[in-house]
Amino acid sequence: MSSAIHALMTADEAGAELVTFAQQAADRLVKNNLTRSQIRTVFTEVRQIEAQWGEPAAVRRLNMLKPKLAYQTARSNSVDYLREVLSEAIDEVVLSPADKRDERFQRFVDLFEAILAYHRAKGGRN
């Protein structure tokens, strides 16, 4: 999957591949019985990071989402695919050159928003 995430984060100018990927990811998360509260917990943290994105601590805080996702996966296996997708996307942001980081972070947020929206639209559990 890493090549798919890499393409979404670096080459998908129009966002068409991102939308398709988000639909497929949401389907899988609904089948895995991921709840909206599980996904919203992580999304709330991402929104807080987005609010402080220009600050030096924001990149570190984004990177620290990976252990939080691992912990949630240990508590409930339904989070595993979300952890896999977001961890790869986080790596694309954190490991990118500084001049590309803002753009890639915005793509990360777009990807997560799209997954969340499709998860809800496809009847993800409360």
For 4-17, what is each residue's pLDDT tens digit?
899 989 888 888 99
Domain of residue 102 covers 2-121
% of the chain at pLDDT higher than 70: 98
Number of domains composing the chain:
1
Tell if the pTM clears 0.85, that is, is over it: yes
Determine, yes or no, domain membership for 104: yes
More confident residue, 60 or 124: 60
DSSP collapsed to 3 states, the chain: CHHHHHHHHHCCCCCHHHHHHHHHHHHHHHHCCCEHHHHHHHHHHHHHHHHCCCCCHHHHHHHCHHHHHHHHHHHCHHHHHHHHHHHHHHHHHHCCCHHHHHHHHHHHHHHHHHHHHHHHHCCCEC
Residue 22 lies inside a defined structural domain of this protein:
yes
pLDDT digits (tens, 9 = 90+) for 71-108: 999 999 999 999 999 999 999 999 999 999 999 999 99
Q: Is residue 17 part of a domain?
A: yes
